[in-house]
Amino acid sequence: MIKHWDHFLAPYEQAVDELKVKLKGMRTQFEMQGTHSPIEFVTGRVKPIASILDKANKKNIPLDKLSDEMQDIAGLRMMCQFVDDIRRVVELLRKRNDFEIIEERDYVSQKKHSGYRSYHLVIGYPVQAIDGEKKILVEIQIRTLAMNFWATIEHSLNYKYHGRFPKDIELRLQRAAEAAFQLDEEMSQIRVEIQEAQAVFSRKKEGNNSE
Ligand code: 0O2
């Protein structure tokens, strides 16, 4: 049993806070350069205790093995406008030396049966504490806005059906995932147009702000 969840979760909270700043910082650097940022926005969370217990139960993870075997107690999400941006973000993350990449799961080219698409990186992130360094596992999910829309809706439906969707809803979700994928494909085709328009828009905004 974990008696002191606050103590157990503290390094995860710290990792999420630090990584949010670092990954948002990547976006800011692109903005300062005036080039298209492959990162649209970043979110992060520590898994709620009830979800940790649920998942541990489902996957038969003993509570004293949580820090080694549950990879997403700390989770970050990086949202991108275009599918190609996902690859760019992964490459940028591979080059960093403030954490180590432990595992990569490519559900973008290999979607899950549910229709889920995202690129997952599991990293070992060193948290500096007053009693020394502690390396913790963090999952970073990288996905487009369309993939995120689908995953968010499917995730909330999951709460209602506990993962056991009626056949018609399962099929509709798979079709919706395909539609989201088509949307990404279409947007990729007019990517240059979109980026030119966005560049003009942000120059205009900067002009207005400096007036
Ligand atoms: P939450 O509430 O987001 O924390 P598994 O849980 O068995 O599917 P595993 O081995 O833990 O998979 O790792 P994987 O496949 O990388 O998935 C972990 C996380 O990816 C999930 O965490 C979800 O956030 C997301 N994910 C994976 N598959 C799906 C899916 O089909 N639909 C949606 N919406 N998200 C998915 P949790 O713990 O399930 O949930």
18 part of the active site:
no
What is the sign of the dihedral through the CA atoms of 92, 95, 101 and 106? positive
Q: Domains in the chain, start-ordered, CATH in brackets?
A: 5-210 (3.30.460.10)
Confidence (pLDDT) at 1:
62
Report the complex ipTM.
Answer: 0.90
98 and 92 Cβ atoms separated by less than 8 Å: no
Confidence (pLDDT) at 130:
92
Q: Spell out, as residue ranges, where the chain has pLDDT lower than 50.
A: none
Residues written for the chain: 211
Q: How far is CA 133 from CA 20, 121, 122, in A?
A: 19, 21, 19
Does ligand 1 lie within 6 Å of residue 112's CB atom? yes
Of 40, 103, 104, 139, the catalytic one is 139
